[in-house]
Amino acid sequence: MERSKLIGLLAGPLLFLLLLNIPGNLISPEGDPVMAVAAWMVVWWITEAVSISVTALLPLLLFPLLGVMELADVGANYGSPIIFLFFGGFVLALALEKVNLHKRIALTIINRTGTGPERVILGFMIATASLSMWISNTASTVVMLPIALSVIHLLIDDADGFTQKDRNFALSVMLGIAFSANAGGIATVIGTPPNSVLIGLLENEYQIEISFLRWMTLGLPISILLIGISYLVLVKWMFPCKGLQFGASRDVIRTELQKLGPPSGREKRVLTIFGITVFLWIFRTLINNLIPGLGLTDTAISMFGAILLFAFPYKLRKGEFILQWEDTSRLAWGILILFGGGLALARGMSSSGLVDLVSGAIASSEISILLTAVLLIALMLFMTELMSNVALVAVLAPVVAGIAIGLDVPLLHLLIPVTIASSCAFMLPMATPPNAIVFASGYIRVHQMARVGFILNCISILLLVLVFQFVIPWLF
């Protein structure tokens, strides 16, 4: 075991016991046990001493023992409606991957963007982001990587060898895929786990609902802007490859498309169910207005799509369906547990008065609202370079909610940009799975990713501060 993990494994429970047994009250008799549990979870999440999903189970064990909440109340967070919204999203992504529809979509997008080097890079970025809106950013990166490597190998094997322009192209493609996977998830509620953690917190603790469409009206433009900025920084500034010529790239894409063959009946069925689900998500409010009393929710729509994939027959006589339950062995169950743990921790912070304490302290200070927003966005963005973004949002979102209450700022105005900042980790290979996957290709060095990533991090902070100041008050 790595030394940092071993230290974290021991430090977590030791810090918990220390905080629990300090004479007197650090905060309050109700708040101290919650703070002790939170400290243990943060240490294990930062060091990844054990799986982050296992860490998320600690409230289920400790809160009842410490008298923070009853077991049934803690367990209810692990079965929150938002968990099933994401479960349905996972099942839809599973179906797309099972029938290879995600690869067909990606190849088709790349094929239509052109064969010039800058167009090929743009095609890879658009395709990756389009997938990352609906399937995990890890899966979208894994799909794109081998296709990108095939194109790069054309440059290695050509007459002039692997020139500086070739290296710049390889760097831009690899970094473009990772950055687009990270930014693409911002666009939808189910695109990346931190979005769902925020939605769950708002619904569970503050009875504030953000619909699928309402999130997209903000998330999609931010995602497009970040991808566009990343593209310009990569190909126009940091790693220019203008003048590079290779006509064989289209052949690689076409060959990959030919390997897939014509769309199968199963692919068409998955695409139809996927389209119906997205349509219902987008027009849910309109449908509810047209049919009073229907009460359609994003979670219900998500479960409708998921159940349909298991229940809609592909070959009725043979009893074959699009998805079988065995397919769920590849589902990210750990992420669902992680959501539950984050919601349980947030509920513990709220019920014990910790959030009220934070909001009271902020209310009595003279701190500027804009400066607070800048600091929180920057803190979230740079901390997510070092630890899981979903775990970070689970810990910090309730605190940010308390700060918003203390400053008398609408919760959404502060929580949304801070949560989106958790998806803007562009600097380090360990920050996100896409960063790690493209780094493992061997075409990127740490200092190259860090140099570009730092620039994009700073631009992201500026963009999110502008969103906080001008856009969110108008939309929400």
What is the average pLDDT value for the chain, to the nearest integer? 88
- Same domain for 253 and 111? yes
CA 259 from centre of chain = 31
Q: Whose CA is closest to 344, among 134, 79, 66?
A: 79
Let me know: does 99 contact 204? Beta carbons within 8 Å: no
Most confident of 3-7, 125-129, 156-160, 334-338: 125-129
Q: Is 313 helix (H, G, I), strand (E, B) or coil?
A: strand
28 & 138 share domain = no
**342 touches 56 (CB < 8 A):** yes
Regarding predicted confidence, which is higher, 232 or 251? 232
Residue 279 lies in a domain: yes
> Quick one: 28 and 173 in the same domain?
no
Rg, C-alpha atoms of the chain: 23
pLDDT value at position 104? 87
Our count of domains for the chain comes to: 2
What is the predicted pLDDT for the residue at 42? 85
Q: Based on the domain organization, do 34 and 104 belong to the same domain?
A: no
Q: What is the pLDDT of residue 247?
A: 58
**Residue 406 to residues 205, 392, 411, Cα–Cα distance (Å):** 16, 21, 10
pLDDT band at 54 (very low <50, low <70, confident <90, very high): very high
Give a yes or no: residue 335 inside a domain.
no
Average pLDDT over residues 121-125: 92
Q: pLDDT category, 261, cuts 50, 70, 90?
A: confident
Task: Assess if residue 57 is contained within a domain.
Answer: no
Mean pLDDT of 373-390: 87
The whole-number average pLDDT for the span 418-439 is 90
Q: Yes or no: say if 436 and 449 are a contact pair by the CB < 8 Å rule.
A: no
Domain boundary among 269, 300, 330: 330
Q: How far apart are CA 266 and CA 328, in angstroms?
A: 18
Q: What was the pLDDT predicted at 14?
A: 95
The reply to whether 198 falls in a domain is: yes
Q: How far apart are CA 195 and CA 209, in angstroms?
A: 13
Of the residues 313, 330, 347, the one at which a domain ends: 330
User: Do residues 100 and 67 touch, judged by C-beta distance below 8 A?
Assistant: no
Position 158 pLDDT exceeds 70: no
Q: What is the mean pLDDT of residues 131-152?
A: 88
Q: Is residue 151 part of a domain?
A: yes
Shared-domain flag, residues 249 and 205: yes
In a shared domain, residues 45 and 122: no
Q: Are residues 46 and 102 in the same domain?
A: no
> What are the two backbone dihedrals, phi and then psi, of residue 109, each rounded to the nearest 5 degrees?
-65, -45
- The pLDDT of residue 18 is 93
Same domain, residue pair 127 and 31? no
Q: Point out the domain boundary residue: 311, 330, 349.
A: 330
Q: Do the domain assignments include residue 221?
A: yes
- Tell me if residue 292 falls in helix, strand or coil: coil
Question: Model confidence over 1-10: pLDDT tens digits?
Answer: 688 889 999 9
Residues 8 and 148 in one domain: no
Clarify whether residues 193 and 282 are in a common domain. yes
Which tops the pLDDT comparison, 175 or 24?
Answer: 175
% the chain with pLDDT above 90: 41
pLDDT bin (cut points 50, 70, 90) of residue 167 is confident
Residues of the domain holding 37: 1-50
What CA–CA distances, in Å, run from 334 to 52, 74, 78, 459, 463?
8, 17, 11, 32, 32
Mean pLDDT, residues 235-248 taken together: 76
pTM of the model: 0.86
CA distances in angstroms from 226 to 125, 425, 427, 437, listed in the order given: 11, 12, 14, 20
